[in-house]
Structure 1
Amino acid sequence: MGASDVNLAELIGSRICHDLISPIGAITNGLELLEMVGAVQGPEMELISGSVGSAGARIRFFRVAFGSAGDQPLGRSEVVELLKDLERASRVRITWNLSEPVPRNQVKLAFLAIMCCESAMPFGGEVEIATQGSAWTVIGTADKLNLDTGLWKGVTTGQFANKLSPAQVQFALLPDTASAMGRRVASETTATQVKLRF
């Protein structure tokens, strides 16, 4: 996959997320109106509201992770709010240790790295994102990790021995997107921790 393929993937991601976020938002607004008038209450309503909220959070996250991204800044509050919404439907807790706004394309790399970490944590865990100068570190920690060593070896080069599944696409996009930005991905894994640097 070359830089032009990355750009095409970003455009596809942006288009899909853009087209889905409006109807999800409309459903959310409709549910809020139903709650206000007391038309529907009970566990069914909670299930629907929770599912729609989860879908909306994932789409907003995917819009950054898979969509086209320039160097316009994203502020801490916007990123943290997005990640908190994402956490509600996840077993993974995410800590964003950055206080200053950062370029959207760098947040995109961090979000792809978060997805890589999540894939190794089927039973939950914690992900921490930090920077030192221009270098980013994303660390995932869990009592039990499910590591696919081929994926974690390939994430540094973008070359994989086996064909990737749709659930693993972040492992291919992270090194290619980083390369297009003049960065390289490094990874380390232990029995309880995964670490990505770029």
Structure 2
Amino acid sequence: MTQSTDSIEFASLLCSRLCHDLLSPVGALNNGLELMADETDPEMRQRCLDLLGDSARTSANKLKFFRLAFGSAGGFGDAVPPHEAKVAIEGMFAASGRVKLGWMVEEQLLSKLAVKVLLNLALIAGDALVRGGQLDIGAETRPGITEIVVRGEGPKVILDPELRAALAGTLPPSGLASRTAAAWMVRQLVESAGGDIVLSPPGESVLLFGASIPGQG
């Protein structure tokens, strides 16, 4: 299989992941509109409007996050204000109240690569908090390197073994699927920059990711 074919296959897997994540809120929008078309009771119509509002916000929040995490957001420059990443993560997790966000990033700007890595690690850690919990994110840029730390803690923390393997760089080609595409992409981006990703051991009550990206300071 050629490199071009590999790239197309990976893009297809990533698109499948994004479509899967957007299907629920967009489907809720469609259901709400169908209910509104037949409903005459004022109270029920208000409930439909509330459903539509929640679904629209969820869809918009996910699109904002995906634009930064997987697209070319932030203009054509090389750096992105970390506040944009914070707002995107809050929209994905903190707004629901299921996950509390701790933000420890004082930098005024981070490279686009660092922001993509930070967002994707935060997404993986946040999804691993299946019963909610605390999601702490830190990043620091020093001369020649940017270091990122993502920590997740909650009543039940589950990281899929294939996601762990994708982040660790041990996932076999047969394991690349829509659910592992983002983790695999993060590993490839960091390795291409000459950096590394470390993970806390499986079975721990706290999930910890660390990424070191040379040449970003």
Under a length normalisation based on structure 1, what TM-score does the superposition of the two structures give? 0.72
1:79 aligns with 2:85: yes
Q: 1:1-198 to 2 correspondence within 5 Å?
A: 5=7, 9=11, 42-68=46-72, 72-87=78-93, 88-89=95-96, 91-100=98-107, 101-132=109-140, 133=142, 134-157=146-169, 159-160=171-172, 163-189=175-201, 190-198=203-211
Quick one: structure 1 residues 187 and 160, their matched pair in 2 at CA, closer, same or farther if it must change by over 3 Å?
Answer: farther
| Separation (CA, whole Å) in 1 of partners of 2:77 and 2:206 | 30
DSSP-derived class of the 1:143 partner: coil
Q: Shift of the alpha carbon at 1:108?
A: 0.4
Maintained 8 Å contact 1:129/1:139: yes
Maintained 8 Å contact 1:117/1:127: yes
User: Structure 1: 5+ residue runs without aligned partners?
Assistant: 28-38
- What amino acid does structure 2 have at the position aligned with 1:183? G
Q: Shift of the alpha carbon at 1:158?
A: 5.0
Bigger Rg, which one = 2
Q: Shift of the alpha carbon at 1:49?
A: 0.7
Deviates more, 1:97-106 or 1:107-116: 97-106
Quick one: structure 1 residues 59 and 146, their matched pair in 2 at CA, closer, same or farther if it must change by over 3 Å?
Answer: same
Q: Shift of the alpha carbon at 1:89?
A: 4.1
| Separation (CA, whole Å) in 2 of partners of 1:166 and 1:105 | 21
DSSP-derived class of the 1:85 partner: helix
Maintained 8 Å contact 2:89/2:119: no
- What amino acid does structure 2 have at the position aligned with 1:180? S
Maintained 8 Å contact 1:97/1:130: yes
Identical counterparts, % of pairs: 18
Alignment match, 1:35: none
Per-residue CA deviation, residues 144-178 of structure 1 (Å, 9 max, x unaligned), is 11232343144121524862442332221110111
- What amino acid does structure 2 have at the position aligned with 1:120? A
| Separation (CA, whole Å) in 1 of partners of 2:77 and 2:121 | 18
Question: How many residues get paired?
Answer: 176
User: Structure 2: 5+ residue runs without aligned partners?
Assistant: 30-41, 212-217
Alignment match, 1:31: none
DSSP-derived class of the 2:175 partner: coil
Q: Shift of the alpha carbon at 1:112?
A: 0.9
Name the Cα RMSD after superposition.
Answer: 3.4
Under a length normalisation based on structure 2, what TM-score does the superposition of the two structures give? 0.66
